[in-house]
Amino acid sequence: MSEETTETTTDDQATGQTTETPVTEAEATETDQTTETPNAEAKKYRLKLREAEARLEKLQATVSAYQTREIETLAGEAGMQSPTDLWTQESSIEAFLSEDGAIDPEAVQSAVSTLLEARPHWKSQKAIALPGKPTGKLVPGHSSEDPDDAKGASWGDVLRRS
C-alpha cells in the first residue's frame, strides 16, 4: 500500500530540464522528521536535559544518604555515643571523602578524636567495672565468688555460714 508520489527537481536552470524521482510515503515521512524546525529540536533536547538532571539529583541524594549513614557508623565505632553529633563539627560530607570520592575512615577517626577531646562527655560509655562488684557471668541465686561452690550448698550450709 505504499503510495508513490513524484518529486520534481530542477537539475539545470539554464536548460530547464527536470527529472522526476519516485518517492515512497515512508521516505516522505522520514524527510519530514529530519526537517524539524530548530526550535522544536532545541525543545526536545531541553526536555531530555531536564529529565537527566532530575535523575542525577535523585541519585546524588541517594548516594549522599548512604555516605552519611556510613560516616555515622564509622563515628559510632570510633567511640561516639551519638554519631549524629559529628555533624556539629563538620557540616559537609566532602570533608570525609578521599580524592576518589570514597569515604576515608582515617578522616572520620581524626574528626571523632578531635571532637571527643573537646567534648569528652560525648564519648560512648562502656560498662565500667565497679570495685568490689562482680563482672563475670552471674546466675540468679548464686554467689559471685565461685558458681561451683554454690551448686552444692544446702539451706543448712547457708544458715551455718551466716
State residue 33's pLDDT score.
56
* CA pair distance 123, 78, nearest whole angstrom: 9
* CA pair distance 43, 142, nearest whole angstrom: 82
CB 90, CB 76: distance < 8 Å: no
State residue 97's pLDDT score.
92
Residue 60 grid coordinates: 546524588
DSSP code string of the chain: -PPPEEEEEEEETTTTEEEEEEE-HHHHHHHHHHT--HHHHHHHHHHHHHHHHHHHHHHHHHHHHHHHHHHHHHHHHTTBSSGGGGGGT---GGGGB-TTSSB-HHHHHHHHHHHHHH-GGGBPPPPPPPTTS--S---TTS-SS-HHHHHT--HHHHHHH-
State residue 2's pLDDT score.
47
| Mean pLDDT, the chain cut into blocks of 10 residues (162 residues total) | 49 54 57 73 94 96 94 91 88 90 92 90 70 59 54 74 71
CB 101, CB 76: distance < 8 Å: no
State residue 137's pLDDT score.
61
Residue 157 grid coordinates: 550450709
Structural domain boundaries in the chain: 34-122
pTM recorded for the entire structure: 0.53
